[in-house]
Amino acid sequence: MATSNNIKKKKTKPAIISEDQITKKQSTLYAFISFAVVVVLWQLAVLFLPNFGNIFPGPYDVVALMIKIVKEPVGRLTLFAHLGWTLKRIFIGYIIGAVIGVITGLAMGTSKLANAIISPVFEILRPIPAIAWVPMAILWFGLGEASKYFIIGFSTFVICALNSIAGARATSEKLKGAARMLGASERQLFSKIILPSSVPQIFAGLQISLSASCSTILAAEMVRSEEGAGWLILRGMNTGNMTLVLVGLIVISVTGLILATVMRAIERKAISWSFRGK
C-alpha cells in the first residue's frame, strides 16, 4: 500500500514553518562564516580594486589603527580615554533623561489631569529630533559638558516618557477593578498595580533610548569637544581619514551592543515574571 512510488516529492518549506530548528551551534557557525566572508571580500576589494581602496580602507588598516591608538593618542587622548569620556556623557545624560522621562510618562499615563496639563508642550517638543537641539543647547548651556548631557537627556526623555505613558495606559482595567474592589487606595492602585504592570514597557523604553543614546552621542559631540568616540569620527571626517571614522564607528557599535546586553540582563532580573523577561 505504501509503496515508494506514490510518495510525492516534498516541497521545500519556507524558513518560518520549517520543522527542524537550527541549533545554536549551527547559527553561530553560519554567523562566523558569513562574517569571515565579508571581511575577506572587503580586504580583497581593497587590494584589487584600485578606486575602492582609495575611498575605503581595508579591515587590516582599520584593525591596525585601532591597535595603534590604544597606545598612541589621537588628539589629546588614547582610544580608551576617548571611550571613557563618551561613556560618561552617555551615562549622565541618559540617567537624567530616563528619570525625568519615566516620571513624566507615568504621571501622564495615570492621571488625566497631568496628561491634560503636560501634553500640549510635550506634543510640540516630542517630534523635534535630539540633533535639532544642538544649536539651542549651545546657546543655553555653552560649549561644555552640560549641553552634551542635555542633548542625550532630551532624546532619552522623549523615548522613556512615550513608553511609560503606553505602559501605564495599557494596565488592564480588570486588574484595576479587582484592586479597587479589594479596597486599594488610589496611591496603592498606582504603586501596587499600575507601576508593576508598566515595568515591562518602561524597560522597553530604557532599552530603546540607550541604543538611541549611542547614536545621539555623535550629535552631542558635534558640539565643540576634543574627546570622545563621536569626536574621533568627526575628526576622521574633517581630516578625510576614513580609517579613523571606521574605528570610531566600530568602537561605538561595540559599546552599544555591550550596553544593550547589560541592560537586557538587568531587565531579565527585574521582571522575570513578565513575558519580556523570559
Site for other proteins in 124-143 (CB under 8 A): 124-136, 138-140
Residues 6+ apart with CB under 8 A from 13: 19
For other proteins, the binding residue among 62, 158, 161, 218 (CB under 8 A) is 218
For other proteins, the binding residue among 58, 105, 200, 256 (CB under 8 A) is 256
- The one-letter code for the residue type at 205 is G
- Nearer Cβ to other proteins, position 30 or 80? 30
43 is a contact residue toward other proteins (CB under 8 A) = no
Beta bridge partners of 77: 74
- Which part of the chain contacts other proteins (CB under 8 A), choosing from 29-37, 85-93, 96-104, 158-166? 29-37
Give the separation between CA 60 and CA 8, rounded to whole angstroms. 52
In the DSSP assignment, the letter for residue 12 is P
- Nearer Cβ to other proteins, position 136 or 183? 136
Burial 38-66 (b: 16+ CB within 10 A, else e): eeeebeeebeeeeeeeeebbbeebbeebb
Which of the residues 52 through 81 are near other proteins (CB under 8 A)? 55-56
Give the separation between CA 208 and CA 105, rounded to whole angstroms. 15
Smallest distance from other proteins to CB 192, Å: 25
Angle, helix 79-110 to helix 145-169, in steps of 10 degrees: 40
Give the separation between CA 101 and CA 206, rounded to whole angstroms. 10
On whether the CB atoms of residues 67 and 249 are closer than 8 A, the answer is: no
For other proteins, the binding residue among 67, 143, 257, 266 (CB under 8 A) is 257
- Nearer Cβ to other proteins, position 221 or 227? 221
Smallest distance from other proteins to CB 46, Å: 14
113 is a contact residue toward other proteins (CB under 8 A) = yes
- Which part of the chain contacts other proteins (CB under 8 A), choosing from 162-170, 178-186, 196-204, 228-236? 228-236
